[in-house]
Amino acid sequence: MAVQISPSILSADFAHLADEVGRVANADWIHVDVMDNHFVPNLTLGLPIVESLKKTSPLPLDCHLMISNPDRWAPAYAEAGAESVTFHVEAAAAPIRLARSIRAAGARAGMALKPATAVEPYADLLGELDMLLVMTVEPGFSGQSFLDVVLPKVRRARELLGGRDGAVWLQVDGGVSPSTIEQCADAGADVFVAGSAVFAGDDPGAVVDALRAAAEAATAASWWSHPH
């Protein structure tokens, strides 16, 4: 499984989203953070903007729904054309049914865990997913410090998902930068979200390339690439 980079437009210029997305066309996905000022204390964007982004983005959309009642709203993001839709398990009433409805609407189904949410209670439903997102900051804002206390959970999630050739991708999101991405790759993550690290500087595309190179090197050196 190759390394994938998903820049978060939460750190981009919202008045020029089409241009910002064009600056990271060398990435694999565009990460879209949907916040409802209820599940998290911040408000960002919703379906109309996802529908517009879908028309202009050269890359598939990776929608991360930090909203209450995802059971009600998540399938609509798949219907709007998002190729991946991730809901928070803490907010979902029926996560298995929800993952199935996202898939039925044509998208990859992702499930996210806040930093203090354990992965083990969900071991039996991981096969219903296309991606597990382990948050490495509290959801709500970009630019927060990476929580390395979450790394053992990334490792345990990788163990539960099996080796890197497994069908379920393992994403990390929050504080991922050229200085933290290697630890994430070493712990078994294969999809990397980065917001401020990518969009804070003058050359977001170059940061995407640097993140990819660092993650690929750490992956090649990791235990997961050489299972015994």
Least gap, CB of 111 to ligand DX5 (angstroms): 14
**C-beta closer to ligand DX5: residue 70 or 174:** 174
114 binds ligand DX5 (CB under 6 A): no
Using CB under 6 A as the binding rule, the residues of this chain from 16 to 55 that contact ligand DX5 are: 31, 33
Q: Is 173 considered catalytic here?
A: yes
Residues 126-145 that bind ligand DX5 (CB under 6 A): 137, 139-144
Please count the residues of this chain forming the interface with Zn ion, following the rule CB under 5 A: 3
Q: What is d(CA 34, CA 214) in angstroms, rounded to the nearest whole number?
A: 28
List the x/- string, 128-167, binding to Zn ion by CB under 5 A. Answer: ----------------------------------------
Binding range to Zn ion, per CB under 5 A, among 26-34, 50-58, 144-152, 207-215: 26-34
Known active-site residue 124:
no
Q: Is 193 in the site for ligand DX5 (CB under 6 A)?
A: yes
* Catalytic-labelled residue, pool 130, 173, 186, 190: 173
Q: Which residues lie near ligand DX5 (CB under 6 A)?
A: 8, 10-11, 31, 33, 64, 137, 139-144, 173-176, 193-197
Active site residues: 33, 173
